[in-house]
């Protein structure tokens, strides 16, 4: 029987960050640990400042959960796996709370935050060939019963994003390998690999990528390096912006980057990413497809991910550019102006991205 969770303790490495409980109105309240206030940092500077006392989450858009903790919850593929596993245990997915879901993530989520009680008690499995996981993914997408559901939960139950994927270890490094969903083109892995390499040519910071068996896209995790885990916070969670609907403009995103990082270099990096998305037609540029990472006691833009042409909602960019869903380069320059980027620097970045794409 799944015993409901009444309180979640949040940890960063072995350090207790604070505790999270659910109020009667189904909104969470959080309190930083006094020791963390003395030695730690704000895990979500805009909406969870580092201070004593209880802080309450907004009811929307994360069902009463703070955005930073919502970042730890699986969505898309990971949620499908979790709900399938719950059903197998005789548990209705709508009967459990956000605290229950955080306990199922436990210590297996993306980034550095972990949660207790840790109900992700799946035993360790021997890693199997990538094509085994690909076949199991296909069965699950077709709603077939699989004997490997516990193993799939262990390798992918806490994964973020819509596409099917597994988290595996390759040459002692943590990698994420993606598979085709029912709506993807047959060669989506090749496409994403191609554009990841193009992005690097355009001056965008990218994690290492691979193409397995000429069809499955793999990316090395940037939240774990040589066993050390780093705190990662999506723009969605940071700004309380839904990733399911258009909720941001790049102008806001660039200004938020400056407010968080206090570094013009990071703002320019976000501008470059915007220009790349516009020029390749990546319109699925929702709020969860931008993230920040906390390293060496400061925030910076994370390496880029999920970069490939896509339709977006109604054929328009999910994150608008100067208020436009189908922007021009003029709109890009306007975003730069509003964010304080000199026109000479903005033009230089645009030309560099255009040159990188023309060489691809």
Q: Write the DSSP assignment of 229-246 as a string of letters.
A: E-EEEEHHHHHT--SSS-
d(CA 105, CA 121): 10
Q: Which two tokens stand for residue 182?
A: 């029912």
pLDDT of residue 182: 84
Q: Is the pTM of this model over 0.85?
A: yes
Give the model confidence (pLDDT) of 181-237 as tens digits. Answer: 888 888 999 999 999 999 999 999 999 999 999 999 999 999 998 889 999 999 999
Say how many C-beta atoms besides its own lie within 10 A of residue 213's C-beta: 10
Helix, strand, coil tally for the chain in percent (to 5):
35, 20, 45
Q: What mean pLDDT is reported for the chain?
A: 93
Q: What is the DSSP string of 27-57?
A: -EEEEE-HHHHHH---SBTTTB-S-SSEEE-
pLDDT of residue 204: 98
d(CA 235, CA 17): 21
pLDDT of residue 2: 67
Contacts of 275 (CB under 8 A, 6+ apart): 332, 349, 350, 353
Q: What is the CA radius of gyration of the chain?
A: 20
Kindly tell me if the per-residue pLDDT of 50 is higher than 70. Answer: yes
Query: In the structure, what pLDDT confidence band is assigned to residue 336 with cuts at 50, 70 and 90?
Result: very high
State how far Cα 38 lies from the chain centre: 28
Give the model confidence (pLDDT) of 140-187 as tens digits. Answer: 888 888 888 888 888 876 667 778 999 888 888 899 999 998 888 889
Query: In the structure, what pLDDT confidence band is assigned to residue 287 with cuts at 50, 70 and 90?
Result: very high
Q: Which two tokens stand for residue 328?
A: 């021009």
d(CA 172, CA 263): 33
Residue 233 phi/psi, 5-degree rounding, is -135, 120
The single-letter DSSP state of residue 124 is: P
State how far Cα 9 lies from the chain centre: 22
**Angle 70-72-74 from CA coordinates, rounded to 5°:** 90
Give the model confidence (pLDDT) of 7-39 as tens digits. Answer: 999 999 889 999 999 999 999 999 999 999 999
* Structure-token match 């990733």, residue found: 243
d(CA 189, CA 137): 15
Kindly tell me if the per-residue pLDDT of 1 is higher than 60. Answer: no
Strand, coil or helix: 12: strand
pLDDT of residue 217: 97
pLDDT of residue 279: 98
Q: Domain boundaries in the chain?
A: 7-116, 130-157+161-225, 230-358
CATH of domain 130-157+161-225: 3.30.200.120
Residue among 224, 214, 63, 76 nearest 140 (CA):
76
């Amino acid at each position: 029987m799944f015993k409901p969770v009444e309180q979640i303790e949040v940890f960063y490495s072995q350090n207790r960050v604070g505790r999270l409980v659910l109020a009667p109105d189904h909104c969470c309240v959080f309190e930083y640990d006094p020791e963390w206030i003395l030695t730690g940092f704000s895990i979500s500077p805009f909406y969870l400042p580092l201070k004593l006392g209880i802080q309450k989450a907004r009811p929307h858009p994360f069902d009463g959960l703070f955005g930073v903790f919502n970042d730890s919850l699986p969505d898309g593929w990971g949620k499908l796996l979790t709900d399938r596993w719950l059903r197998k245990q005789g548990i209705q997915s709508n009967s459990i709370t956000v605290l229950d879901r955080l306990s199922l993530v436990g210590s297996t989520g993306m980034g550095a935050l972990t949660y207790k009680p840790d109900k992700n008690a799946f035993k360790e499995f021997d890693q199997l060939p990538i094509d085994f996981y690909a076949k199991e993914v296909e069965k699950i997408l077709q709603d077939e019963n699989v004997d490997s559901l516990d193993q799939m939960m262990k390798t992918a139950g806490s994964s973020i994003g819509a596409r099917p994927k597994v988290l595996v270890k390759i040459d002692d490094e943590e990698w994420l390998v993606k598979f085709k969903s029912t709506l993807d083109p047959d060669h989506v892995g090749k496409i994403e690999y191609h554009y990841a390499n193009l992005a690097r040519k355009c001056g965008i910071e990218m994690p290492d990528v691979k193409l397995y068996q000429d069809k499955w896209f793999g990316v090395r995790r940037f939240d774990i390096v040589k066993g050390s885990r780093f705190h990662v916070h999506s723009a969605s969670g940071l700004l309380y912006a839904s990733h399911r609907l258009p909720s941001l403009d790049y102008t806001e995103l660039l200004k938020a980057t400056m407010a968080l990082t206090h570094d013009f270099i990071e703002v320019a990096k976000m501008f470059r990413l915007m220009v790349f998305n516009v020029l390749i037609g990546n319109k699925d540029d929702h709020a969860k497809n931008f993230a920040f990472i906390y390293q060496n006691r400061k925030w910076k833009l994370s390496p880029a991910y999920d970069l490939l042409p896509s339709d977006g909602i109604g054929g328009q960019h999910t994150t608008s550019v100067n208020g436009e869903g189908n922007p021009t380069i003029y709109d890009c320059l306007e975003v730069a102006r509003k964010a304080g980027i000199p026109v000479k620097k903005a033009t230089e970045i645009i030309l560099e991205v255009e040159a990188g794409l023309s060489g691809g």
